[in-house]
Structure 1
Amino acid sequence: MTTSERTEPLAAGETMLDDATLVARARDGEIRAYEQLVLRFQGPMYRLALRMLGNKGDAEDVVQEVFLVAWRRLDQLQEDAAFVGWLYRMTTNRCLNVIRARKPVADVELDQQESAGSVGRPDRAAETSAQMAALTGALDQLTAEQRACWLLREVHGRSYEEIAKAIGATTTAVRGRIARARAQLAEVMAPWR
């Protein structure tokens, strides 16, 4: 089921609404419809921002700003069905701006929750922690654009075309950045295979 096919109730007793319908209603000024869109997409946008920025506070600020800007500019969106891609594009661009504004390159912290298999096994927990630290370090070595492309593709499952629109590049450039990111990550992660 694609994101645009997903449906959730708008209010008790109402029928299930897809993303495009909620966007259309929100564009007409229906605040409850926009609230549903925020609830539906704040998690994915936050996870993207957190992985790009490595800082919970910065990620929260970016997501809050993105949804506020989206609400204010909703009338500028050409197609209701393009809302999700628009959110990814705004979130990615805002994160890239935050990264560029920083003096040093930020550390990228991935969710470092232990896998279920490591519970009660200190050796497995230590190995998992070391792997996550290696991956975090490897992601930190990527350029901001490579990191954005890799995260959007590998973690968020976005298409090359969606990523290209989100970062303002060609699909060829996106494929190249992802290929370089994968090669760099594979090299760093080789000992963990």
Structure 2
Amino acid sequence: MSAAPPSDAELLAAHRAGDADAFGQLAERHSRELWAIALRTLGDPDDAADAVQEALVSAYRRASTFRGDAAVRTWLRRIVVNACIDRIRHERVRRTVPWPERDLPSRRPDPAVELVTRLAVGEALAMVPVEQRVAVVLVDVQGYPVAEAAAILEIPVGTVKSRCARGRARLAVLLGHLREESR
């Protein structure tokens, strides 16, 4: 009978104790989720890869500062969000690319219309203030519960709700032309 895989907290503790493989296992376990957050926030695969790499290096180096106030997974997501915010603020990343396709209904719309829509949404997200964009990406795009997004962002639940509401309102204005075109 095989033993259960180590928990995130156990892997982080092992890393802190000098286990050379523990952090790699932890990073591998969460890499897809961290990548998705970064890609949705930044809109560019290269920038997302850089942000995730910067975040993981930061987490690796600062593992000793982890206080255990939140889950290790939440801590890693917060570091990725911070890396994305830093890239947006310091480099003014505004490029957009089509988002990877998600599971879509079997009756697919015209691929050209779908591409235009994805590009428009990416461009509109880039125009939303970063605090609102991150909240909308976490809650509406990634599907995190508001309370979990609040924990990741280390802000009150009400602040996440208001940032999402403001971001959605701004997106509605920026993307209103798509609604008009579909009529």
Measure the CA separation in 1 of the matches of 2:67 and 2:140. 28
Report the alpha carbon displacement of residue 178 of structure 1 after superposing the two structures with TM.
0.3
Whether contact under 8 Å (1:85, 1:166) holds in the other structure is yes
User: Which of these residues, 143, 158, 163, is aligned with residue 157 of structure 1?
Assistant: 143
> Distance between the aligned counterparts of 1:85 and 1:70, measured in 2?
12
Equivalent residue, structure 2, for 1:95: 84
The one-letter code of the counterpart of 1:70 is A
1: distance between equivalents of 2:110 and 2:156?
42
When normalised by structure 2's length, the TM-score is 0.80
What CA distance in whole angstroms lies between the structure 1 residues aligned with 2:45 and 2:74? 23
CA RMSD of aligned residues (A): 2.7
The answer to whether 1:43 aligns with 2:32 is yes
1:62-94 CA distances to partner (integer Å, 9 max, x unpaired)?
A: 111111111111121122862111111111111
Instruction: Give the SS at the match of 1:90.
Output: helix
Is the aligned partner of 1:190 residue 2:182? Answer: no
Q: What displacement does 1:179 show?
A: 0.9
CA apart distance, 1:107: 3.0
Alignment-derived partner of residue 144 in structure 1: 130
Change (3 A) 1:112 1:38: closer
Match of 2:97 in 1: 109
Distance 2:32 2:96 in 1: 18
Which letter does structure 2 place at the counterpart of 1:24?
Answer: A
Contact conserved, 1:146 with 1:178, CA < 8 A, in 2? Answer: yes
The number of residue pairs the alignment matches comes to 177
Specify which of 41, 44, 67 is matched with residue 78 of structure 1: 67
Unaligned segments of structure 1, at least 5 residues = 1-12
SS in 2 for 1:109: coil
Aligned counterparts of 2:91 and 2:99: Cα–Cα separation in 1: 22
Structure 2, unmatched stretches of 5+, are: none
CA pair 181-147 structure 1, distance change in 2 beyond 3 A: same
